[in-house]
Each structure stands twice: as structure tokens, then as C-alpha cells.
Structure 1
Amino acid sequence: MNAVILFLTSFPPLETRRRFAGVGWLLTLIGGVLMLGAPYLPWAYSSDALDDMTYLGGPSGLQFFFLGIAVLVVASAIAGRLTGQMGTPNPPARAPLNLVGAASGAALGGLIYIALALIMIAADGGGLVYVEWGGWIALAGALVAYLGTRLLPPGPVPTLGRSRTPGWLGILAVIFLVGVALLVAAYLLDENDAGSFVVSAALVLAVLLVIMRSGLGSWLGAVGRTHRHVLVFAAFVAAFAFPFTQDGSDANMSIATQVLIFAATALGLNIVVGQAGLLDLGYIAFLGAGAFTAAVLSNSAFSTIGWHPPFPVVVLISAVVAGTLGLVVGTPTLRVAGDYLAIVTLAFGEIFRLVMINLDGSDGPNITRGSNGIPGIPDLNLFGFDFGQSHEILGVTITRFGNYFFLLLLVLALIILVFSRLSDSRIGRGWVAIREDEKAAEAMGVNTFGLKLLAFAGGAALAGVAGAVKAHVDVSVTPDQYIFLESAFLLAAVVLGGMGTIVGVLVGATLLKLMPEKLRFVSEYRLLIFGLLLVIMMRFRPEGLIPSSRRQLEFHESDEELAEHLDAELTGGPPDSGEPAGAPARRSAGEETR
């Protein structure tokens, strides 16, 4: 089994790939042709599996998606042969797009897609006997194409990302990309069948693999950086337009609001972990502090304090309480580091939960009503706008959760603004210096303790803001909502998405919050699947899904093949200076880190 995994995940030596370049191209093409024909064959014995894949000559919607992946494989293989990138032992060093990468991304995406589709068919039917012969042909074609790409020499360095793009074209590309992302998000969230959701998500993964491996992703990244303000504005416009795509679905908007709360909290943790490099395993306590503060100060009949200030004041108080709690906890504990800091923060998270249980009027003052918590928290009413009522906007019904979705977008925008400003300031550079080497930073005059304490308190305050809104969204607040497992998921969102980045953390938080909601049929195995995904990510992409360039270079500094590509990109061709492979790339990584 280990040998099979190693064969599927590692490239043969470069000389071997050059010797069998023609065979690799032929296998890629043959596999792609098999993939083209497979959607017209029956994949499932029962019509109940996925979206009825029982017809011969009549592809279903999900089979058409697989057909699109097959077209990408065949088109990349043919275009690669015509341009000399595929089938030759010495492909060109540079080209606008890396067609070898496009073919390998499409083949890998197709293999994942068909494997998940067959698993879902077997799960719906009760066994692999429900998989028809067309499904096995599709799997064989994807496997042949994937193995063919493994025999191909590495493709050229894509130059499209470094080319000059007209401003109008870049703006149109940004708007188109954001619009597609909105439609994909609306489609996935509206997909109620778990199997169809999983397979559709695999299609998105396949497209992303093609984009990233072909070099188109670098071009989109360059365009996004050039038109950053347009990208941010378009992203928030798309986010505000999202409720209008749900046709008044309260269930979908409930999931969306929880995703935003989770993402806003994860961004606060990103300051502590991603920027300052402090491992916090009890961060959920700060979210709970903000939520309990808002609940106690609300107009709930179960509120234990008679003062009920306006909600903007409650938000400020929640942030101050959570931030103060961060200072109280951080002042004595931040003098330790590493595993000891992780143990202390883990203990703090459990202490917070137990204290909230004990504040029941029996073991302590009656503030939180103990394990019963504070239920019946009323909906917000800001400036005459009742968040608990549905509203008609532009002919579309916006439900209660839709109202809170808009409010949470504003909160998220505030947190993103604070995070980005801090990251670009001297404080942010000091955090990065502490994360890279605390002793060196202290020797250079950086106030390491003060900056670490600021990161701890600032991240806690942002979590408190999110918690204040969460209390009204959830209607009730109880101590058992804030357990260690929630802290672990928040930390996983930061690590999986990409520490120190904004988009990466948002993507990681969305995936970790959305997947459990859509995969309730495997709820018993959720932690097992989550653990496997963590292992796979740490093995193949430890820098995260959308990492910063600095961390990506750090994690892959010893990857000789990647170093050769970086050398070619930095020097304009293959390294020929007599230095070891990857030396210019490593110097660049060091300069960027400094």
C-alpha cells in the first residue's frame, strides 16, 4: 500500500521522464480519450445514485462535468504536442502557459472526481456492485491519464503572470472571477444531496488544479495585486449579493452566517498564530467572553444585569472585556513559549468554560446562570430595523439570517481592515520578526513581550466583537458551546488556509464550517476524515491552501525541482552559473524574509 501511494504521489527521476516523454504523452492522450467517452456510458445500476447515471448515451449533469474535465485533458495534450511542451525530452524553458501542468491538474482532478463519484454511488446503493462498467472505464481513463502526466518532463516556466496586461482586461478578469465565485458558492450551498455536493466540490478542485498548475493562477494573482481595490470592492459586492441568490432559504443563510462568525473569529486568531507565531489552543474562550457579555447586557428575560445599553455600546464592551481577559491571561503566560504556551492556553480555555458553569448563583455569583446559560436573547433592532423580521428587498425575501449576514459582513470588513493595517505597519513587521526568530528580534531592539501581549489582546478583542453578534444570532449562549474542539477547528482553519493571510484564512474557515453541514451523513466519521485531511495537507501542502509567498518559499526550500523552476523564473532560464540548484531561489527567500 505504501509503495502504491509513493508511486502515485512522487515523480520518477528527471532522466526517466525525459526518456519516456513520448510514452507519457501517449498515455495522457489515451486516458483523456477514455474519459471523453465514459460520460456516455452508464455509471450506476440504480437511478437513486447521485443524479441518475444509468443511461447509455445520455449523460447526467455530473457526468457532463466529468466530460468537461476530459476535454481539458485532451486539449492540453494536443496543444502541448503542437507547441513542443509534451512528448519531447527537452521542452522549452519558458512559455505563456504550462500545458504539462494543465494536463496533470486536469488528470488529477478527474481522478479525484471519478473516485469520489464511485464512492458516492457505492454508498447510495449499498456496495461497489452498484457501480456499472462505464464508471470503471472512467476511473481507468483518469488513472491512465494521470500516470501519463507523471512520465512527462516538467513543463516550461509560465510567463503569462509576468506579462503586461491592459488595465481594462485586468478589471474585467477580476469582475468575472468574483462573479464565478459567487455563482459557485450559491450552487454548492444550494446542493442538498450530500453525494452531489461532494462530487461538485471535486469539480471545483479540478478546475483550481488546472488554473494553478498551468500558470493561469499566477496571472490572476498578478492581476489581483494590480487591481487590489477593485478586487476587494467586487468581493464585498458579491458577498452582499449572496443572499439574493438563495430565494429566501433560511437554512442556507443560517449556514452562511455561521461561516462568517467562524471566519471573523479565525481572522482574530490569525493575528496570534499567523503573525506573531503564538500557539493558542484556548482561543474559543475569547469568543465566548464576547458572547456572554452581550447576552448578559441584552434585553433577555433571563439576563442577570439590569443595564441594557444600545448594541454598538455592547459591542465595544464585549471587545474590551475579551481584550482585557487576553491581557490578564497573556501577561503571566507569554513569558513561556512553544509547547508550554500551548498547554497554558489549553488550560485557560477549559478554565473559562468551567467558570461560566460555576457563575450560577450557587457556586458563585449568578451572572451566566451556569450550565443553563442565557436563552431568549432578543433580535437586534438598530435604527428601527428589526433583524428578526423578513424584509422584501428588490423583490427578494431576506430572512432573519440574511439580515444578520449583512451585519456580519460589516463586522468582517472591520476585522479585515484592522488585520491588514496592523500587518502592514511596524507592529506587523515586529510580529513577523518574533515569529521567525524571537531572540534575533529582541537583539535588534524589538519589544518582543509588548508585541506578543498586543497580539494576544488584539486578537481576543476581535473575537469578542464576533461573539457579541453571535449571541444574538444563536438566541442563546451556553458554556458547552465553547469547548476545546472549537478552538482546534479555529486553529485548523488558520493552518489549512494559510497562516498570515486574509484570503487563505477565509477559505479555510469556509471549508471547515461548510463541510460538516453538508456531510451530515458521515457525521460519525467527521473527526476521522478531518484528521486524514490534516495529514494529507501537512504532507503535500504544509504552507496552506493560499499561503503567503514567504512561507511558501520557506516550506519548499529543499524541493530541488521547485527550486529549478524558481531559478528559471528569477534568472530567465535554467541555472548555469555553477551554483547548486535552487541557490538563487534560496537567496531570494532569505532576502524576502529579512
Structure 2
Amino acid sequence: MIKIPTLSREQQLRSHTTGRLVGLVGAVVLIGSAYLPWAYGSAALDDMTFLGGPSPLQFCGLALGVLVLAALLVPRLIGVGRFRHRLGWVRAAKAASTGALVFLLLVLVSIALELGGLVNVMYGGWVALAGGAASFVGTRLMAADRAPTIAAAQAPQWLEILLIALTVGAAMLAAAFALNLSGGGAFVTFVTFVATVVAVLIRSGLMQWLSAASARHRKVLILAAFVVAFAFPFTQGGSDANMSIATQVLIFAGTAMGLNIVVGLAGLLDLGYIAFLGAGAFTSAILSESAFSTVGWHPPFIVVVLISACISATLGLIIGSPTLRVSGDYLAIVTLAFGEIFRISMNNLDGTDGPLLTRGSNGIPAVPDLVLFGYDFGQRHTVLGLELGRFSNYYFLLLVMVGLFILVFTRLNNSRIGRGWVAIREDEKAAEAMGVNVFGLKVFAFAGGAFLAGVAGSIKAHQDISVTPDQYIFLESAFLLAAIVLGGMGTVLGVLVGATLLKLMPEKLRFVNEYRLLIFGLLLVLMMRFRPEGLVASRRRALEFHEEDEELAERIEDELEVRAATKGTTR
């Protein structure tokens, strides 16, 4: 047996002190390097050629240096040992330094690729990389601190509400800034910066505190989120390109919310869910006033939405009733076959191989814009002095749709039905033995998820102007499922985060079009290795995947005690 030598207490202290000093020097160098030129030409990223005038991405590097500096310096200045609740200062410093090093490497690689070689990296870029590397090495020499307990702390109500509002507002500004970035390299580096900030919040314990504060002021969080979401189009300066991406994200998120009922709550693997979105879209297009519509009946859109949703739900019942008696891989194969059957059937309803309904592979083009209560969604409107285009109009409608979907999902999740779904997901035999109507709840999950997808599809048909069978292929179902797994199954915020990332990143990474699926696959592999429960996981799933993590169990127990105490106080 090989014995691993351990450092003495004195050696550990010396290494910790040296690491802190090296980390501080690296952070200061990184902060100062932001005022030096990083690139030789202005075409790289966001013009990093100025001396004394940092670009936005250079300010991001400066901010990461400030985070490292604060995490290493603040504990010594304020004497944190006297506080009852502590933050994970060293953990935060390590996360910030790691993120800073990755951020700087991506910046230098982007400059080299966009300008034609590393020779185009100016001295400021190398100074920044040296500072990031020094802070990384220094923090790695430091001993890890104890787990943060700040999650159990309570601040004055006005302060908690203010911080919640500021966090939501910062998220909107970050999303608006990311959409306005034109280059793929700039987008990737900024996403790395945002991910680093989130990692620092998580490692320090502030994210857990913010989560507990949000639970205490849930109504404030919901109100702030929707106010910020409604204000988002006013930050885009009338850009149809950015708002088009935003509407696609909302459609994708709304559809994923329906699939989250099937997969996240009931635990049923559905690989053909995109068919329900297509059924709603085709129904809405057929009943629209398009010149290519094959049906002479054109009811109001409110009626069309209900019909589209009911047809999708009926398809869910048809596919669910005979097939939900199987489970696991067999259910996945059946649902995959159903998705392909739907696409082939839409191709065959062309008047030659079958009835004339969908016009085959040509689909139904020229679907007119919606007109609800006299409001034409296809016209530009001026609101508060700002001009809103066609996609902004659909954005507001889709935002209301997603809000209703979230309400439905949370109500179901917290009801007896939701508890039955979770029981089926955990152990179907045990749930049936306890009297849960397993088959009935499975069918209801399929029908309910399909109903929501039908609503999203009916709006998508008008927003996309045309509907064709090739829009609803297996790859789209795989992306929907990946959004749920990536974000966190069974959670609302997780689905929204996963859907946003998977819909936004392909739009911004067109410069690596041939490798997008490869990059996507690598990201999923890394997620399954380091965070299998998803980016925003429920407590149950976090404990399932990290049963050996005693620190996580203690933190969750503390949060539950805080919530129980808060409820007792409010009562």
C-alpha cells in the first residue's frame, strides 16, 4: 500500500499564506491589464485596441479580477470570524480565478482566430493571462475553507426585496447584452464570464441565500421576473433579429414546459414529443385564413387555440393508452416511432397519397398574422416612444403563454396529482401498491403535456408564417429533452434556463456550424459528469445524485429549517 505524504500544520499555513499573496498579485495584475491593449486590430471581439479605454469584455475581465481580489482581501479586512453566518471566501476565490483563466484563454484564442494568429495578441493580453494564471495557481495553494452557512441568515425585508429585484434586472441586462453581441467569440467569452459569476455565487453560498430569500418573497420574485421580461423588448432598439430569437426561445421554453410534465414529473421518456407541437401548428395553419388552407372554416383564433390543443391532447391519449403499459427503453422506442409516423403522415396528406390537408412536403405557407381584439401582430407599433416590430408583438403574447404554462405546471406539481407522478417516477410498483392510479396518471401526463404543446404550436404557426413537416424531426425532440436534462428535470427555472441556452447558443455559434452538434454533445457529457442533476436542480434530485455529499445534505436541511421557521413566523 502506497502512503500519500501529508503536509504538517505549519506547511499548510505557509502554503496558504503564499497562495493568498500570489493570488492577490495576480488579481491586481489582471485588473490593471484591462487598461492595456489586448488585440492588434479592432476587428477582434469588441475592439480591444485602446490604451486606457477598456472595451466591455475587458471590463468583464476586470470584474473577475475584482472578484478574486475581494474574496482574498475582504475576510482579512472585516474579520469575518465574528459573524455568526459565514461565506465560502476561498471557495469563491478559486471559482473566480478558474473562470478568469478560462475567460482569458478564450479571449486570446478568439483574437488569434479572428485576426489570423497569436501574433495579433498585444502585450496587454499576455499580461492579463499572466495575472489570471497567477491568481489560479495562488488560490490552488490555499486550503479550502469550511462550508458556507450564509443560507440560514436573514436580512431586513427591504434589503432582500431590493437584492432580488437587482438580480433579476442584472439577468435581463446580461441577456440583452449577449443578444447584441455580433461575433461568436465575443458571445462565448461573455457566457463564460456570466457562468463564472454564477459559480462564484454558488461556491460562496450567496446563491443559496438568494434562493432562500426568493422563497420568502416568492410573489416579489415572480412580479420582478415578469416586469423585467415585459421590459426586455424595449432594450433592443426595435431589432427584429434579436426579438426573433427571443420569440423562438419562448416557444421552445413553453414546449419544454409541457414535456417537463411527462419526463420531469412522471418520469416517462418521450422521444417524439415534437409531434404534439407540430399537430398544434398544422391545425392552426389549416384553420387560418391562408390562401393555401385546405379547409373552408376559419374560426377566431381563441377557438383555434382550443381546437389545436385538444387535437394534440387527443393524439397524446391515442399514443398513450396502448403504449404506456410498457416503460423504459420500450416506451422510448414507441414514442420515437410515433414522432416519425407523424412527420411521414403530414407528408402523405398531400391529396395524392392521402386526403388533401397539409399539402405534403410543401406545407402551408402564407399563414396570416394574428389580429386579436383589433391588435394586428404583423404591424409595427409605437409604445412609450419606442417602436416595436412584429416579433416584439408575438413576444408579449408568448410571454403570457409561458406564464400560464408555469402556473399550470406549479399547480400540478404541488397537487395530489403531482405527488402521484413523482411516486410513479421514483418507483412505479411501490406507487401502485400504495393505491396510486398509475395508468390513469400516466395517460393524464401525456395528454396534459400534449395539450400545452398544442397551444404553443398554434401560436408558432402564425409567428413562423409557414408550417412544413420537416420542421418537426426527431432532432427537435432530442433538443427539447436535452433542455430539460440540462436545466434540471421537474423544475420551472431549470427548464427556462436550459431552453434559453439550447436555443440561443446555436444562433450565436453559426461560425462553427459543422461542429455545433459535437460541441453540444461534449457539453452534455461534461454535465452528466460534473452536475448530473442539472443546472437548476430540485433538492430531491440533488440528493439522489449526491447521496455521499454530507455537506449538501446539511445545507438542504438548514434551508428547510429556515423555511419552516419563516412559515411559523408569518403565521
Calculate the TM-score normalised by the size of structure 2: 0.92
Match of 2:504 among 501, 509, 514: 514
Bigger drift between 206-215 and 467-476 goes to 206-215
In 1, the alpha carbon distance for the partners of 2:531 and 2:195 equals 14
The one of 408, 411, 416 aligned to 1:418: 408
Residues 17/478 of structure 1: CA separation in 2 closer, same or farther (3 Å cut): farther
Do the aligned partners of 2:100 and 2:132 also contact (CA within 8 Å) in 1? yes
CA contact (8 A) 2:152 2:559 kept: no
**Which residue in the other structure is 2:208 paired with?**
218
CA, structure 1 residues 149+296, in 2 after alignment: closer, same or farther (shift >3 Å)? same
* Alignment-derived partner of residue 372 in structure 1: 362
Secondary structure of the corresponding residue to residue 104 of structure 2: helix
Asked if residue 74 in structure 1 is aligned to residue 64 in structure 2, the reply is no
Distance 1:240 1:32, change over 3 A: same
Mapping of residues 280-295 of structure 1, within 5 Å = 280-295=270-285
Deviations 1:254-313 (A, max 9, x none): 111111000000000000111011111111010000000101111111111111111011
Contact 1:93/1:156 (<8 A) preserved: no
Contact 2:543 2:553 in 1 (8 A): no
> What do residues 176-202 of structure 1 show as CA deviations (whole Å, max 9, x unaligned)?
222222222222212223322222222
Of residues 389-398 and 190-199 in structure 1, the stretch that sits farther from structure 2 once superposed is 190-199
Change (3 A) 1:16 1:560: farther
Deviations 1:104-132 (A, max 9, x none): 22112212211221121111012333223
Q: Is the 8 A contact 1:14 1:153 kept in 2?
A: no
Q: Which residue of 2 aligns with 1:444?
A: 434
How has the CA–CA distance of structure 1 residues 17 and 94 changed in structure 2, closer, same or farther, with 3 Å as cutoff?
farther
Verify: 1:245 aligned to 2:235, yes or no. yes
| 1:282-361 paired onto structure 2 within 5 Å | 282-361=272-351
The alpha-carbon distance between structure 1 residues 265 and 568, as it changes in their structure 2 partners (threshold 3 A), is closer
Q: Shift of the alpha carbon at 1:419?
A: 0.5
TM-score normalized by structure 1?
0.89
Aligned equivalent of 1:41: 36
**Partner Cα separation in structure 2 for residue 148 and residue 538 of structure 1:** 29
Matched residue, 2:103: 113
Cα separation, 2, equivalents of 1:375 and 1:39: 51
**1:189 equivalent in alignment to 2:184:** no
* Contact 1:189–1:252 under 8 Å retained in 2: yes
Worse overlay, 97-106 or 128-137: 128-137
Quote the Cα distance in structure 2 between the aligned partners of 1:213 and 1:383: 50
Distance of 2:108 and 2:416 partners within structure 1: 52
Residue 553 of structure 1 corresponds to 543
CA 1:203 to 1:489, structure 2 compared with 1: closer, same or farther past 3 Å?
Answer: same
Letter in structure 2 aligned against 1:348 = F
Secondary structure of the structure 2 residue equivalent to 1:40: coil
Give the conservation status (yes or no) of the 8 Å contact 1:291–1:464.
yes
Alpha carbons 1:80, 1:100 under 8 Å: kept: no
Partner in structure 1 of residue 26 of structure 2? 31
In the alignment of these two chains, the number of paired residues is 556
**Pair 1:24–1:470, CA change in 2 (3 A):** same
Matched, 1:227 2:217: yes
1:568 and 1:421 mapped to 2: Cα distance? 26
Question: Does the 8 Å contact 2:35/2:51 carry over to 1?
Answer: yes
CA contact (8 A) 1:157 1:568 kept: no
- The answer as to 2:449 corresponding to 1:459 is yes
AA aligned to 1:499 is M
Q: Post-superposition shift, 1:58?
A: 4.1
Structure 2 spans left out of the alignment, 5+ residues: 1-6, 563-571
Does the alignment pair 1:145 with 2:140? no
Match of 1:174 in 2: 164
The residue type equivalent to 1:262 in the other structure is: F
Q: Which stretch shows the higher mean deviation, 421-430 or 121-130? A: 121-130
Asked if structure 2 preserves the Cα contact closer than 8 Å seen for 1:281 and 1:349, the reply is yes
Q: Distance in 1 between matches of 2:56 and 2:357?
A: 55
**What residue number does 2:269 align with?**
279
Aligned position for 2:54: 59
Query: Unaligned regions of 5+ residues in structure 1, if any?
Result: 1-11, 86-90, 573-594
Tell me the secondary structure at the aligned position of residue 157 of structure 1: coil
Asked if 2 retains the 8 angstrom alpha-carbon contact of 1:284 and 1:486, the reply is yes
Measured at CA, do residues 377 and 436 of structure 1 come closer, stay the same or move farther in structure 2, by a change above 3 Å? Answer: same
Code of the aligned partner of 1:52: D
Contact 2:369–2:465 (8 Å) recurs in 1: yes
Alpha-carbon RMSD across the aligned residues, in angstroms, is 2.4
Cα-to-partner distance string for 1:165-223 (whole Å, 9 max, x where unaligned): 22222222222222222222222212223322222222222221221111111121111
1:37 offset after TM fit, Å? 3.0
Asked if structure 1 preserves the Cα contact closer than 8 Å seen for 2:316 and 2:450, the reply is yes
In structure 2, how many angstroms separate the alpha carbons of the residues matched to 1:14 and 1:480? 65
Q: Residues of 2 paired with 1:373 and 1:31: CA distance?
A: 59
